[in-house]
A = this chain, B = another copy of it.
Amino acid sequence: MENEGKITPWEVEGKIDYERITKEFGLKNIDDELIEKIKGFTKEMHVLLRRKYFFAHRDLDLVLEEAKTNGFFLYTGRGPSGPMHIGHLIPFVFTKWLQEKFKVNVYIELTDDEKFLEPKRRLTLEETRKWAYENILDIIAVGFDENRTFIFQDTEYIKNMYPLALKIAKKINFSTVRAVFGFRNETNIGLIFFPALEIVPTFFEDKICLIPAAVDQDPFWRLQRDIAEALGKRKAAQIHSKFLPPLIGLEGKMSASRPETSIYLTDDEKTVREKIYKYAFSGGQPTIELHRKLGGNPDIDVSFQWLKILFEEDDNKLKKIEEDYRSGKLLTGELKDILIEKLVKFLQEHQRKREEAKEKVKEFKYDGKLAREMWEKIFE
């Protein structure tokens, strides 16, 4: 089983077989029909959806139905265990796009408690809170609507969530979290309780909740759907993303604890260039001569995959890059240069907005329209 890949919220290892996951987790594929339905609302189509980086869902069709009547709300989050990399940003980029197109509220949870409780992180609570602040800057930089977005971290917002967390927790026993999350007798009692706090925000509004997130968070949502109706509440819908492949190859997800596998959102041009040249796994041939003769393999080339997932939105341009690489006309170094140029431009823009975000933290956490409303509410 070792090579089959492993997915829990705290571990993603090996080669990820997304078809198998879809089946195993009981998800539905995002097919062209559904994409057309979305387009009916959004007019244009986000590259992450068009290229099926968001590949699977639950009840997204229902969300689109309700979009016409009751409306819906968006919920996503971040475990603040370290600096954010490109892969971490993707669900936020997509969530922001959905917010813009549907004009809905977005709730973003920073689980500073969870990342402290997770033993292998070896982080103090002070550290996870510091990372929460740093990560919030990156999240704000994505461009959310400050009056329709509430960013909160568990240790600060706990009082407002705790009564509902208790009601959720009362419906979940140890057997269940052992089966769903792989908890063991050695798991600490904080982490055992934590799932209740990740579920609370799915009930923040009486509307249906849509969660855009990486697929490793799915166990929380399966649990949410098991207990929602017994609490007189609604099952949440999900739209699941794949993982951005690590620089060093297509397996697993990027890990902030292995710096060479990631491009951080704070990396400068020089660092990006060095990392891509040195670490980005190449589908090219060992020598220029061989490459010209045999061509490269874009399917396993990380630089090409990154362009495909996010950085080259133009289908025609992407197709030309793919053909030229496959034919040997485009060399690995040249392909990397294309990615580097896009990446550096993206990061420079992001870093500029990240600086501006420092002035907006209070707005998103406390003073914006939605934030003010949320601090008045106690969820029960």
Task: State the A residues within 8 Å of B (CB).
Answer: 113, 116-117, 119, 125-126, 154-156, 158-159, 162-163, 165-167, 169-175, 177-178, 183-193, 195-196, 380
Nearest CB on B from A188, distance (A) = 5
Q: Are B189 and A174 in contact (CB under 8 A)?
A: yes
Nearest CB on B from A246, distance (A) = 29
Q: Are B166 and A113 in contact (CB under 8 A)?
A: yes
Please judge, given known A-B contacts A158-B162, A190-B196, A196-B190, whether A174 and B185 are in contact too, CB under 8 Å: yes
CB-based nearest B residue for A195: B189
**27 examples of A-B residue contacts, CB within 8 angstroms:** A116-B166, A116-B170, A117-B166, A117-B169, A125-B163, A125-B167, A126-B380, A154-B162, A155-B159, A155-B162, A155-B163, A158-B159, A169-B188, A169-B190, A169-B193, A172-B189, A173-B186, A173-B188, A174-B174, A174-B184, A174-B185, A175-B185, A189-B192, A189-B193, A190-B196, A192-B193, A193-B193
Nearest CB on B from A355, distance (A) = 29
State the number of copies, please: 2
- Given A174-B187, A190-B193; 9 other pairs, CB 8 A cutoff: A125-B167, A155-B162, A155-B163, A169-B193, A173-B185, A173-B187, A174-B174, A190-B196, A192-B193
Q: Report which residue of A169, A174, A189, A196 has the largest number of chain B beta carbons within 10 angstroms of its beta carbon.
A: A189
Q: Are A186 and B166 in contact (CB under 8 A)?
A: no
Residues of B close to A113: CB separation below 8 A: 162, 166
Residues of B close to A174: CB separation below 8 A: 174, 183-187, 189, 192
Nearest CB on B from A213, distance (A) = 21
Nearest CB on B from A250, distance (A) = 35
Residues of B close to A158: CB separation below 8 A: 158-159, 162
Residues of B close to A155: CB separation below 8 A: 159, 162-163, 166
8 tightest CB-CB pairs across the interface, nearest first? A169-B190, A193-B193, A159-B159, A175-B185, A158-B162, A169-B189, A174-B185, A170-B188
CB-based nearest B residue for A169: B190
Complex Cα–Cα for A369 and B116 (A):
33
Nearest CB on B from A313, distance (A) = 42
Nearest CB on B from A205, distance (A) = 21
CB-based nearest B residue for A124: B167
Complex Cα–Cα for A138 and B116 (A):
39
Complex Cα–Cα for A173 and B190 (A):
8
Q: Are A185 and B189 in contact (CB under 8 A)?
A: no
Complex Cα–Cα for A163 and B174 (A):
23
Residues of B close to A156: CB separation below 8 A: 159
Please judge, given known A-B contacts A125-B163, A166-B125, whether A188 and B172 are in contact too, CB under 8 Å: yes
Residues of B close to A166: CB separation below 8 A: 113, 116-117, 125, 155, 190
